[in-house]
Amino acid sequence: MLSPVGGHRSRVLPASGTIGPSTFHALCMGTIVSIGSINLDLQMRVDHPVGSAETQRAHDFSRLAGGKAANVAYLARRFGHDAQLLGMVGDDRFADEAVAPLRDLGIDVSRVRTAAGQPTAVSMIFVPDNGKKTIVLASNANDAWQRADIDAALEAIDAAPAHSVLAVDCEMSVDACAAVLAAAQRRALCVVLDPAPPQRAQSGALRALWRAVHALTPNEEEAAALTGIEIADQAGAVRAARALHREGFELVCVKRSDGGCIAVSRDGVLAVQVKPVEALDTTGAGDAFTGALAVSLVERRAFADAVRLATAAANLTVMAWGSQTALPDRARADAFAAGLQCEWL
C-alpha cells in the first residue's frame, strides 16, 4: 500500500509525512541511473514569446549543458546520491560541453556513448519575460542509438546495484527506450518515466512496456495527449491522472502548470498546491521533479513526502536561469517542501 490513509477524503496532511513506507518504496533503494537525452542548450532571453515574423533582439545568450537525462542525473547528484548517466553524444566539440559539468560533479558518465558521424543534440531555448520558454530541439545523437549502444546500456543496467532506480525519458530512439524498459522489467528495477514527447511514449513498442514503469511524471499537456482528456483545471488533471493510473502505473504525478501536482496511487488522489513563485525560466523544472522523485524512491520516502519534495525541486528550479545551473541543492528543496501542504481529494 502506498498510503494507509489513502481512503480518507479531503484530509489535509501536515508538512512532514505521516504516511508510512509502502511496498513500492521498499523496492527502491540503491543508485539512480538516468537514461535518455543529453543536449547542449543554447539559451536566449527575449522580450516576448517567439512565433511572430518580426526579428527579436536577445538580452543574453548562454551555452549550457542540458537534456532530460543529464538534468535528472545532475539533480540526483546535487541531492547527495550516486548517479550514472546513459545516453548518446555526437563526435563534435559540443559533446564535452554537454558532459563535462556532470563529470565534474562526480556523476558516472563512463557509459555515455559517441554516435559516429552525428552532432550532439542541441536545444534552442527562448525565454521571455514570463519565464515560459519555447524549445526547438535537434535530437541528433539522441536518436542515433545503434545495436552496440543499446547493448552497452543493457550491460550497465544489468550491473546496476540491486534496488536501483531508473529514470527514463523518451527523447531517445524508441528501440533503445523499449530495450531499456524491458531490461528493467527483467531485473524488477523501479522505473520513473518522463513520457516526453508523448507521441513517442505511447507508440506501440513503448506502450506495450508501460507495465514495466512504476511512476509516470507527465505535465498537463503530456497527460492530455496520452489520455485525450482536456486539462483546464484541477478536476481535469485528476481525471487524466486516474485514467493513466488505470493503465497500470503504480504512481502517476501530473505536474500542474501552476507549479502544483496531482498524484494518484492505488490509495487515492493527492493534491499538492503551491503559492505562486516568481518564474524566471521554466527550463528543467520537469526534470527536477523527476530527479527528486527518483531520489525519494531510492530513500524510501513516504508517498506524500516524495511528491512534496519533487514539487519543491521543480518550483525552485523556475526561480533561476538555466537548467542544470538552476537546480536546487537538497537543503533548499527540503526547506521549501516543508512548507507545502497535501490534501487527499
Using the structure block, give the residue that is written with the C-alpha cell 482528456: 229
**What DSSP line would sit under 246-301, residue for residue?**
TTT-SEEEEE-TTS-EEEEETTEEEEEE------S--TTHHHHHHHHHHHHHHTT-
pLDDT score, position 290: 98
3-state helix, strand, coil in the chain (%, to 5): 40, 20, 40
The annotation status of 68 as a binding-site residue, yes or no, is yes
Residue 318 near residue 279, CB atoms below 8 Å: yes
What sign for the dihedral angle of Cα 172, 178, 181, 182?
Answer: negative
Q: Is residue 331 packed enough to be buried (19+ CB in 10 Å), middle (13-18) or exposed (0-12)? A: exposed
Give the pLDDT of residue 1: 28
Which pLDDT does position 60 carry in this prediction? 84
Contact (CB, 8 A) for 184 and 154: no
C-alpha 316/C-alpha 271 separation (Å) is 18
Question: What gap in Å lies between CA 241 and CA 218, rounded to an integer?
Answer: 9
Say what the pTM is: 0.90
Q: Is 287 annotated as a binding residue?
A: yes
What pLDDT is attached to residue 56?
75
Residue 71 marked ligand-binding: yes
pLDDT tens for the 345 residues of the chain, in order? 233 223 333 344 444 333 333 444 444 458 999 999 999 999 888 877 777 667 777 888 889 999 999 999 999 999 999 999 999 999 999 999 999 999 999 999 999 999 999 999 999 888 887 767 788 889 999 999 999 999 999 999 999 998 899 999 999 999 999 999 999 999 999 999 999 999 999 988 899 999 999 999 999 999 999 999 999 999 999 999 999 999 999 999 999 999 999 999 988 899 999 998 988 888 899 999 999 999 999 998 988 999 999 999 999 999 998 889 999 999 999 999 999 988 998
Could you tell me the domains of the chain?
33-344 (3.40.1190.20)
Q: Is 41 annotated as a binding residue?
A: yes
Is 322 marked as binding a ligand? yes
Nearest Cα to Cα of residue 154 among 142, 144, 166, 143: 166
**CA–CA distance from 20 to each of 132, 140, 295, 301 (Å)?**
37, 44, 17, 8
The catalytic site residues sit at 287
What pLDDT, on a 0 to 100 scale, did the predictor assign at position 3?
A: 33
